[in-house]
Every structure is written in C-alpha cells, then in structure tokens.
Amino acid sequence: MARVCYVCGKGPGSGNSVSHANNKTRRRWLPNLQTVKIVNEQGERVRVRVCTSCISAGKVKKAPAVAAEA
C-alpha cells in the first residue's frame, strides 16, 4: 500500500482547495513518509515507509548500518 505509514497507518487526507474567488477543487494532504530500514520482530532488516512523527517519537528501531565488505 503506497502512501500509508507502516507503524500508525496514517494515510492521505482529503478536502478542498479554496481560491480567493471561493472556487473549490478537491485536493489531498499526503503524510510525510520516509523510507527507513528497520529490524522487524523476526530480526530481519526490512525497508518500510514510516511517517516522520513515528520516527521522531521513537516508535521504530532503525537497523544498524552494515559495514561494506572489501
């Protein structure tokens, strides 16, 4: 599912754009999603889309960086 937070399920909101002449057209407010690598329950590294409010609240544990092999 695109544009949905992996942790909290936050998705797009909808409403109207209202012009100065009071014309109304439909619009969407998209959540601020970032792609992060996390460690899931099984201990695997998974790439997921998480909103920035969940990242700053510490609701996800980022996966440690893997050293590049030479």
- Is a pLDDT exceeding 90 seen at residue 50? yes
In a domain, 69, yes or no: no
Q: How, if at all, do strands 33-39 and 45-51 pair?
A: antiparallel
59 is a domain residue? yes
- Examine residue 50 and state whether it is found in any structural domain, yes or no: yes
Is 47 among the domain residues?
Answer: yes
Averaged pLDDT score across all residues of the chain = 92
CB distance 55 to 38 below 8 Å = no
pLDDT over 90 percentage in the chain:
74
Query: What confidence tier does 70 reach under pLDDT thresholds 50, 70, 90?
Result: low
Does the pLDDT of residue 67 top 80, yes or no? no
pTM exceeds 0.85 for this model: no
- Residue 44: domain span: 1-63
For residue 25, the tally of other CB atoms under 10 A from its CB is: 8
Residues, the chain, total?
A: 70
Query: In the predicted model, what is the mean pLDDT of residues 30-52?
Result: 93
Query: Is 28 part of a structural domain of the chain?
Result: yes
Q: What's 16's domain CATH number?
A: 2.30.170.40
Report yes or no on 70 lying in a domain. no
Count of structural domains, the chain: 1
44 CB contacts (<8 Å, ≥6 apart)? Answer: none
Q: Does 58 reside within a domain?
A: yes
